[in-house]
Amino acid sequence: MFKKLKEQILTILIFSISSLILSISIYLLIPIVMKTFQIPFAIAYLGCFYFPFVGLLLTALIIYRKEGHKLTIKEISTRLRLHKLNKKSLKLLVIFFLLVGVGFLVTSLLSRLISDNIKFLAVPESFPAGLNHNKEQVPGYFFGFSMKGVWWYPVLYFIGWGFNIFGEELLFRGILLPKNEKSFGDKAWIFQGTLWGLWHIFWYWQFIPLIIFVALPLVYVVQKSKNTWVGIIIHGILNLIPLIIIISQV
């Protein structure tokens, strides 16, 4: 009983602390970096937003090693449930990618309604087009920064995307979800899906619909398939959309 409680507290702490760090990075560190180095939002965002995800990967590694596991492909794959995609996993992947994809669109629409109609949940005016739907997206620009010929930007963004997806999925779904299942059984997806949705509080105008339409369904399908790759693929494809936009602007 005490061990289960300890693991529940560990999960809550990891989600809470990492969300707080990202919130500080977005709302405090980005403005400081922009002012100090006289650089645009888009460049400051690359470092300030994506660097904390390196910490998620390191946290996953620390917990993995503290559990006494070896750094071998076989043991890593087993503990983090990085299994080959069987027919069941592929079926769930296709079905829930469609559902989560639709949920992602619904979340975007509801987020706009929330931001436009609830004053204290409005998107910060300082955010550029791409994060602030009230600002016009100018062709050839991303986050207010000219992308024409700037090929290094999508390369760095892709690296950040990698830390983002693998940091979240390997820690949250690979390391923590199996622990949550020991405490909550087949209802673990509700516990972690809700936490993961709340974790996105730094995008406060969208985290409520995100819990319902993205976080809960994604965690459910990962738990159902017992395969972390399912979460990596769904989450990864959804988060590739901005990169595709950036490449098209370059």
pLDDT, residue 1, reads: 66
pLDDT, residue 4, reads: 77
Span 10-25, average pLDDT:
97
88-101: pLDDT as tens digits: 788 888 888 888 88
210-233: pLDDT as tens digits: 999 899 999 999 999 999 999 999
Span 59-75, average pLDDT:
96
Shortest CA distance to 172 belongs to which of 110, 223, 113, 108?
223
In the chain, the number of structural domains is 1
**Taking the model in full, what pTM does it have?**
0.94
The 10 Å Cβ neighbour count of residue 148 is 9
Span 59-67, average pLDDT:
97
Shortest CA distance to 223 belongs to which of 184, 173, 182?
173
Q: Which residue has the higher pLDDT, 165 or 248?
A: 165
Position 203 pLDDT exceeds 70:
yes
* Domain of 77, in residue numbers: 2-249
